[in-house]
A and B are shown apart, each in its own frame.
Chain A
């Protein structure tokens, strides 16, 4: 029998992917126009990774994100308007303007934070999984990381401990081929980061991260495994970072042609459309409408963020300690 997917799942997945694309495209535009402080890192071209994984998660499951975190936020269900307001440094942002792009969090949906330190999320996710295990819930935790972060020592400490204690953690490597400005093979000892799972006696698998369906299926299998109490799992998603390391990156380390080739031939959103149209699962009209809705939502988010107040000066010393 041919494999099929629930229509609502597909609609929601497409809505999230196109929302990420619209959000990131707008962020790039306004950042280059000098509207935003700080640094920002875009998820364009990696949408199928976060959305494919998070489509298998429950609201109370945990994720730990990275400096390239906007996509994970939207995939886990964060509010685009609060995210945009945070980028503008406004009071209405997720962190009242104190965090910015690299520190967006939404604890109400288990999104335990983007992180400015590469490779810091492994242990935090492992600890959240330990909390779930100690409380006897069936929650799982996902640690997103990149190929660059795979070379941090924290990976070893976290995965080993999670494996010894059989903690419900899914380690998701978004292998986008660039560690900041350095191609991953010049700094990484293995072609497939999923091979490293063998060193910990846990399952590891790699799939095409630009194919939503490959990601979704692999993540489903991995999350079922993790949730069943068998221990952690390492899933590697092969993708490509379409934009620079950060907005404004002169990208002297690669050619425009290389990027264009990837984007034209292997855009995860185009790939998704091609599949669902061929299978007649969704229509052009349904998806075009979602594209437009996403752009409208992002524009509205920008307008509201621009109009929102900055935090009051009294906010400086707020939430420094609890008591």
Chain B
């Protein structure tokens, strides 16, 4: 199968959906002339013109709020957040407008908007250009939150998000943009709200998502060689959460570890662990383990930045501790 980058996979998704539906349009800072600061919008303005691929002022409330208004009026905007770290600027537009319009207007409104939000640590981005803030949005009813880990899912989830009549926040890790992976030609839709068993195993279940799936799968491959077979679940969507896939896995492995780049406190892992404890405690034969960043802002200097990351060797160590090996 052909291999393309995550970035190109997202371009293909937008291109195909723009060809399919004239109501789809894109707006954000530096996306038309520049092609996006990570190249994720490259070439689209040439094909669709600068009306449908719009360079905006640095005005996050207008980008997101304008997108919501356009969606209320029947369009299907894809808006770009530049860096997920800037998402606090248009927070009212996200949590009071985008997320609430359908419910509070009694179902009159549809808000088919996709908000792309590049997140995560890369090359010393420091405190305001490195964060993973996805957990904030699983606390907001009315939003869907997807977070792909590879090029194929990037394409399939983005296409599903654009077609969804609900607002979708699409977190994409900056380190993934250049990652190559197999992506089938033609139509590819990945359902929102469904986790993926990325690797089967019997000894322990690791739940993760986004770039850290790479680290989890690397760790799992190494552990296989040592006779420890972990099952790896890629959440793909964090709201709504697909707990059933996790529970099915736990019936087999009876041990749960959750791994994410975001701070451990109040993270996605906290919700997964709490629900599992509420509903599956009888199946578990070990305490649930969460691996996440310590509760500090992201430091700039590489030696300190390393301390807030979870690398494959950290996961291997934690798995062995959990299994008493």
Contacts and interface: CB of A to CB of B under 8 A. Distances in A.
Interface of A: 62, 64, 93-99, 103, 105-107, 112-113, 115-117, 120, 122-132, 134-135, 141, 153-154, 156-158, 160-161, 164-165, 318-323
Interface string B80-110: 0000000000001100110001111111111
A124 B225 CA distance: 55
B105 A128 contact: no
A160 B96 CA distance: 22
A119 to B, nearest CB: 9
Contact of A124 (B52, B57, B97): B97
Contacts of B92: 117, 120
Given A123-B65, A124-B68, A160-B62, 15 more contacts: A93-B106, A105-B106, A117-B92, A126-B62, A126-B66, A127-B65, A127-B66, A127-B67, A127-B70, A141-B73, A156-B59, A160-B59, A161-B66, A320-B103, A323-B166
Interface string B37-70: 0000000000000011010110111101111111
A321 B164 CA distance: 10
Nearest to A108: B108
A95 B100 CA distance: 12
Contacts of B106: 93-99, 105, 319
B66 A319 contact: no
Contact of A321 (B56, B73, B144): B144
A124 B105 contact: no
B283 to A, nearest CB: 28
B73 A127 contact: yes
Contacts of B305: none
B232 interface: no
Contacts of A318: 107
Interface string B257-281: 0000000000000000000000000
B105 A99 contact: yes
A128 B101 CA distance: 14
B105 A123 contact: no
Which 5 pairs across A and B sit closest by C-beta, in order of nearness?
Answer: A127-B69, A123-B65, A95-B106, A319-B107, A131-B73
B103 A98 contact: yes
A123 B110 contact: no
17 contacts: A97-B106, A105-B105, A105-B106, A112-B73, A112-B109, A120-B93, A124-B97, A126-B66, A127-B66, A130-B70, A141-B69, A154-B65, A157-B59, A157-B61, A320-B102, A321-B144, A323-B164
B63 to A, nearest CB: 8
A131 B60 CA distance: 18
B25 interface: yes
A309 to B, nearest CB: 15
A165 B69 CA distance: 15
B151 interface: no
B184 interface: no
Contacts of A120: 65, 92-93, 96-97
A305 to B, nearest CB: 15
A117 B96 contact: yes
B165 interface: yes
* Most chain A CB atoms below 10 A, which of B51, B66, B101, B104: B66
B72 interface: yes
A122 B108 contact: no
A95 B72 contact: no
A157 B56 CA distance: 10
Given A123-B68, A123-B93, A164 B57 contact: yes
A115 B105 CA distance: 10
B297 interface: no
Q: Which of B74, B75, B101, B105 has the most CB of A within 10 A?
A: B105
Contacts of A93: 106
Contacts of B77: 127
A286 B166 CA distance: 48
A97 B51 CA distance: 39
B40 to A, nearest CB: 22
B142 interface: yes
A126 to B, nearest CB: 5
B62 A123 contact: yes
A153 B25 contact: no
Contact of B72 (A98, A112, A117, A160): A112
Which of B25, B93, B103, B166 neighbours the largest number of chain A CB atoms within 10 Å of its CB?
B103
Given A94-B106, A105-B108, A320 B69 contact: no
Contacts of B287: none
B75 A131 contact: yes
Nearest to A107: B108
B66 A123 contact: yes
Contacts of A321: 102, 142, 144, 166
B71 A127 contact: yes
Contacts of B64: 123
Contacts of A106: 108
Interface string B155-171: 00000000011100000
A8 B101 CA distance: 35
A116 B104 CA distance: 11
